[in-house]
Chain A
Amino acid sequence: MNPTPPFLRPFGIAGLLLALAMAGERAGAPTAQDASAAAQRGASLFTGKAHCGACHAVGGDEKGRGPDLEGIGGRAAERGAAFGLSGSHAGTSYLFRSLLHPADEVVEGYNPMPESWLASGLDDDEIADLVVYLQSLGGHAAPGEVELPPAWLAAKRKDYEREVQLTSIGDPARGKALFFDEKGNAGCVRCHSIDGEGKDICPDLTSVHFVQRPLYVLESVLDSSAFIVHGYRQLMLQDDSGVLHVGLKVDEDEDVVVLVIDDAGTTEEVWKDEIVDQGYSEVSRMPGNFADLLTARQVLDLVAFVLRHDELRAPTTEGTEAPEAAMEELLAAAQTPFPELTEDQERYRLAMSKGDRRNGASIYAHYCTPCHGTDGTGTGFNAVNLETKPANHTDDRRMAKTEDRLLHGVITRGGMKTGRSFLMPPWGGTLKEREIWDLVAYLRTLHARIPPVNHPG
């Protein structure tokens, strides 16, 4: 016998046998009317409660964050068949798997689908209706082919309830203030929008709570690059003069690609016939150091606001005050279920811990002060000659937003290749890797209000 197809593993071999048995027993039992009614209910769930339409389109020209689902019923049968299953239940099983356990197989070029069936609170029947609707898209719609394993679903729902409970201790009202404070340490509104307010540089967060689990939202705040929403990965384009352009693609036509290269929405046009290489950055546009910038409570308040912002329109409910210990447990819980640090992240944290501020200070004095000034305010004697003024390294807000590895990258590769001014030269050929980390460590001491990253005191 074939090994259990990966998508049915959570159900166990028993689940598979159960599914096959059900398929055999119920074949022919549901009528065409049942199928059509179930498909209709599924269709309204698709655009409504389940919020599938937030990412998926069915036909049409628009490219969503998820694959276009036109003809999915037919494709699902093929993919199910690829696992050694045959008959109509092959497609159905594949769709159940995709819905309930989305991380197992991901269509190439897309991110894993969130477990939105949990976030949007679908019950067993609604899940089945949704599958029937999807089957009807280019395939054979047959309700009731697969019995859902009740214990597994219950366990999943219980996990979800716990997450909701854990994140309920934040105060959405305080989170809202943080979210919309443009000059604050969070300042989400500089890039994100919610309920129609804010910028559209980064994903809109209005319906994220119907789609994503609470811990995903929390993790996104704490480690932005762990998961980058499809379409918001920074594009890296190298042109034939060796220049690397990095930014979010916002537009393109036959000749140029338009990138947004900073938080102010500055755009840059890159001619397509000059592009010699391209790829996507592993680093999110979103700052990755909110864990350092915000207190645990502020993070929770923000998460509470994102998850429960529609409550604020109704009379507000008081956030439950939780002791600090519970919050720590929550943060610990938030860190565990997610993947290990990527190699790149590991490297930067390690290197950061190696940075020697004293050595960095002497390098800074020699190479950087002509433009950035002896006090790091960007007012060196040469600054007056420069059209784009040198960065002020004592600017708390700006510097705190800039991650260590980005600082390292700008110093190593120069401003031109990192979306900054070409007046900042690359020092990678002059300074050793270690010396550049020393510089980064020293830079962290210049903006004193923010505790230097990885440098207590």
Chain B
Amino acid sequence: VNDERFLYARLPYRRHSGHYLEDHPPERFGCTVCHGGKPGASDFASAGHPRPASSAREHAWASAYGWSPPGPEGMYPLQVLAGRCALCHSGADGLRAAQPYRQARKRIAHLRCAACHELRDEPRAPVQIAVHLDHLGSKLNPSWLARFLEDPPATHASAAMPAFPLSEDELQALVDTASSLTDDRIPRDPEETAVDPAAAARGLEIVRERRCQTCHDIPGVADEGFLKQDKVGPSLEGAGEKLNASWIRAWLADPQAVRAGVGMPRFRFAPGEIDAITAFLLSLRDDDPPAEERAGASPGGDAPARANRAWDEHRCGACHLLEAFGSGGFDRIDLSSAGSAAALRWSDAGFQETGIEGSEGVFHTRPGSPRTLHPGEPAQPIFTFLAGEDSAPVDAVPPAPPPRKGFDPDDAAGGLVAELRCLSCHTIRGSGGDIGPELTWAGSKLQRDWLITFLQDPVAIRPMNRARMPKLGISAEEAERLADWIGRELRAPEVDDSAPDFDSTFSFVGSSKVKSPYGCIACHRIGDEGGRVGPELTHVGSRLQKKWIFHWIKSPKHWIPGVRMPDFGMPTEDLLAISLFLSESR
């Protein structure tokens, strides 16, 4: 199976394709690691092809190759094989081949499957991970909530909640009860359908200027970038039907006061701005006529009792916390060895991209169990993940070291970092998000003056990134405080301690080398020529420190693994000349 000469040999003598066997010689690792006790294939029919998308193709396969839908004993299709990497490589971190698995795992975490299923590495979801229900009545309009509960995946693009088979009675009871859960600080407004268009238009402008689209999908705000990134905030589609006006105002003023621990920063809005944004959000309505008005906030009769029964019946407590109802304990369904079990019925599952129908075989095995996938969402990632849920046969690779100690500054600047939620997007010393650039060594990298200006009025640096730093409205005094703190705390010793000999060269040497031979201008704009893949370099000396430029060009991937800038392997004299030239481009 690993002899080069058999690469295109007649079946069944053909060599395995890909690089798997180079890193995992079969004489050392055997076959079971990937195959998990499932057989190999000796011809087309027994290979683990996913079910073809069309019945015509299926028919063609059947007549040409004698193919039939694989049964539970069939081999793993290549498409889900990435999951097997997770058996030995804990979390499959850093493995390019296991990329599909990591994506699948992200999806699994988002859908909070672990709340109801026993999974090998996925910790049980914290109970109050979903929306705080205690003040739900202040936030949501009852008519929207009713529509949402009927079918969450179909109603809201970023919903993690599955669709439960609720009866009409249960639905009404839950909506009524939820509507009665209000926050005293937030008055309940009547649902407004008429919004002042001028105010909404002004709100849209502010939303654009503040770059809310970095975290939210917003109808009417184009967001064109090269990269497709998952948004950290929920989609704002249909926000006008969903949200209560007073709640929006309170949230915008200080998100953490409404819900502690949320990732959204506290923007410094002027008072009029909040009203305008609220008007804009209220104007976001679906074109469909709204569902019939339900009587909101009238907890009469036995509604709470009926709601409590529905709560227990559907195990809402697995994800939601509500003091009145509690979170009843129950056994989770064990999927931790699903990868080796026949329960993974590739054929029934119709492991193709047919979404809900295709997934019924697995996801609707019990009466009353919910449907999780969104309409049209492929089930393949789920299977990729499940293929890795197997008892590990070898502990070949030790798990990745735990992330470095969390970052938690405690001085005045630290308070600012917490309030502005910098770590929602930026990583510092191993903790934080990956939307913005890592800041661990920002103090050795950035010029202080530039940083102060940028924090107050951020501009786009990297054309490739879709995410733009939002305009938080940081004051000059706050910006200086942050810049000082960054310059003091966030250092890279290897940059600080080095002493490149810039005196040995001249910047004019570098000014020609950025064109030929190194072709920097293919990706970077300098003056009026050059590409727009990397940051513009025309005034880069004002932004970056001289020594940082030297170390960055020397080996970009040392600082950011996988960065698109190549390691040129430049001789030191060229490095010096180019970084000197760039540092003098101000």
Q: Footprint of B on A, CB under 8 Å?
A: 241-243, 350, 353-354, 356, 358-359, 362, 366-367, 370-371, 381-382, 385-387, 414-417, 421-430, 434, 438, 454, 456
Contact = CB atoms under 8 A, between A and B. Distances in A.
B310 interface: no
A354 B22 contact: yes
Contacts of B464: 370
Contact of A429 (B519, B569, B571): B569
A454 B4 CA distance: 12
B111 interface: no
Contact of B8 (A354, A385, A456): A456
Interface stretch (B162-170, B197-205, B405-413, B521-529): B521-529
B385 to A, nearest CB: 19
Interface in B304-324: none
User: Top 5 nearest A-B pairs by Cβ distance?
Assistant: A429-B567, A423-B522, A385-B531, A422-B519, A382-B531
Contacts of B557: 430
A382 B523 contact: yes
Given A350-B4, A367-B564, A430-B557, A382 B519 contact: no
Main secondary structure of the interface of B (DSSP, over half): loop
Nearest to A388: B522
Nearest to A349: B4
Contacts of A425: 518-519, 522-523, 566, 568
Nearest to A415: B519
Contacts of A370: 226, 464, 523, 531, 533, 564
B24 to A, nearest CB: 14
B530 A385 contact: yes
Nearest to A434: B19
24 contacts: A242-B571, A350-B4, A354-B22, A358-B18, A359-B19, A359-B97, A366-B562, A366-B564, A385-B531, A386-B522, A386-B531, A414-B519, A422-B516, A422-B517, A422-B518, A423-B521, A423-B522, A424-B522, A425-B519, A425-B522, A425-B523, A429-B555, A434-B22, A438-B19
B60 interface: no
Interface string B15-29: 001110010000000
A179 to B, nearest CB: 32
B517 A243 contact: yes
B519 A356 contact: no
Contacts of B515: 422
Contacts of A359: 18-19, 96-97
Interface string B554-586: 010100001010111101001000000000000
A403 to B, nearest CB: 19
Nearest to A358: B18
B342 interface: no
Nearest to B99: A362
Nearest to A370: B533
A353 B7 contact: yes
B553 to A, nearest CB: 11
A102 B522 CA distance: 51
B305 to A, nearest CB: 54
A424 B519 contact: yes
B9 to A, nearest CB: 11
Contact of A353 (B4, B96, B516): B4
Contacts of A381: 226, 532
B396 to A, nearest CB: 20
Contacts of A367: 564
Interface in B70-106: 96-97, 99
A438 to B, nearest CB: 8
Q: Tell me which of A386, A387, A434 has the highest count of chain B C-beta atoms within 10 A of its own C-beta.
A: A386
